[in-house]
Amino acid sequence: MSEPLLLDYPSAAAALSMSRQALADLVYKNRGPAIVKLGSRTFFTPDDLKAWISQHRLAANDPRPVKLPAAVVEAALAPGKRKRGRPTKAEQLARAQHFETRD
């Protein structure tokens, strides 16, 4: 039998190995695959799913660099303005990136 032309949410989510709600959330936030609207129903084409997967493919040894906002970097590196407690993950990453680039 041939491949279907359109997939609904449950079929597309199963093809992507994720829950229907996770796929719906990605589409709602405009971070998911392209959709096809027919009336009030939403569908996905297999080609759009494949294209979305290839856009998010990363090499195992080449992770994407984390871009932090300048305000977070400045707050993490300011000497006298450290707040009490454990630093946030963003502050830890900013500090690590700062010291990696200095070497």
pLDDT of 6 over the 80 cut: yes
Q: What is the pLDDT of residue 77?
A: 65
pLDDT at 38: 94
- Tell me how far apart the alpha carbons of residues 13 and 22 are, in angstroms, rounded to a whole number: 8
- On whether residue 60 sits in a domain, the answer given is no
In a domain, 18, yes or no: yes
Instruction: Look at the chain and report how many structural domains it folds into.
Output: 2
- Is the pLDDT at 94 greater than 60? The verdict is yes
- Is 22 within the bounds of a domain? yes
Q: Strands of the chain (E only): list them.
A: 36-38, 41-43
Asked whether residue 16 falls in the same domain as residue 42, the answer is yes
2 occurs within a structural domain: no
Q: What residue numbers bound the domain in which 42 lies?
A: 9-55
Query: Does residue 103 surpass a pLDDT of 60?
Result: no
Residue 3 lies in a domain: no
- 13 and 51 housed in the same domain: yes
Give pLDDT tens digits for 26-79. 999 999 999 999 999 999 999 999 999 988 877 666 666 666 677 766 766 666
Instruction: With respect to residue 91, please indicate whether it lies within any of the assigned structural domains.
Output: yes
Distance CA 2, CA 5 (A): 9
In this prediction, residues 83-101 reach a mean pLDDT of 78
Query: Cα dist. 8→37, 40, 78, 86, 97 in Å?
Result: 10, 12, 50, 45, 42
